Amino acid sequence: MSWQTINVDCFQIERMNGGVASLLDSIDRMPIANRNVEIDSCPLRIERMSKFVDGQKTLYEGDFVKVRMDNLPVIASRRAGVRGMGLNASQGIGEETAFLCSPADKLLLLQRNRHGASYARVMRYLNEFSGEADSIILSIMLKDTALARLERATTLQSVEVSIAPLLSSHDATYGESVNRVLETMNDLRGRRLTFKITTGRSRSLSLFKAKVKTMIKDLLRVRSDCESCVKTVKLGGRDDDGTMMIDFIKDRIRFSDKVDSGDERHLSYELRKEFLRSIWNRSDLQNALMS
């Protein structure tokens, strides 16, 4: 018996011109060879996809495969010796990432695989097939308490952030506010920037809520793609009950559990698919969708 951990992140599809169901259907009709999109020098595609009905909702589930073509590992044993993998020029190493999508809820559940199809790559992939740049925007799902407290805030008095540089291939992905912060850090040759923006001692002044919300969403997108890059996203303010503090990293909706992979050293698609279905059926996720 071998236990392995599966992590799942939850995203809301904020914008989808034409509908995500029709987009997934069109990709599913394509031959697999035509589904590849080159992202960061690696082909990415939906390898398999199917639909099932739960109640009155049609759900899509499947597997992304990112193909690593360069800088491949070697085969090694515990005792001694290494050798190449013997792949031909058209072959690489496949990194799998399972997903489940409910178009009716504008929900995407995505297995976390730091070597595979990250949130940012999935967004770029779907936009490639949508026929319109940036027609699809994914945002991190937050717990009801965090969202409710943010909306309930009468004044926003502080934002605290800690961020490190991203890979150069990613730094145009996450929004104007994040790009400005990264540019400042790069100009000074820094490796991490920690800052706190406040309104000072005044209780009557407030930070601009719409801009703050956009910056927080951008930062959470960065963290979803590079967890070590964003260590802190906190918001301080006041509501009718007094002082409030929201930690957006702790308050995001995510799931993690160990599964029994038996004697296999590789998590099968069936195992990962069933895990995502179990997350879909969880009452805390369904309650979040109904709120």
Interatomic CA distance for residues 185 and 223, integer angstroms: 17
End-to-end CA separation in angstroms for the chain: 39
Q: What are phi and psi of 106, to 5 degrees?
A: 55, 45
Task: Tell me which amino acid residue 159 is.
Answer: V
pLDDT higher than threshold 90 for residue 34: yes
pLDDT higher than threshold 70 for residue 18: no
pLDDT higher than threshold 50 for residue 15: yes
**CB count in 10 Å sphere of residue 62:** 22
Interatomic CA distance for residues 91 and 200, integer angstroms: 58
**CB count in 10 Å sphere of residue 88:** 6
pLDDT higher than threshold 50 for residue 168: no
Per the rule left: phi > 0, alpha: psi between -120 and 50, beta: everything else, 105 is alpha
Considering the entire predicted model, what is its pTM?
0.78
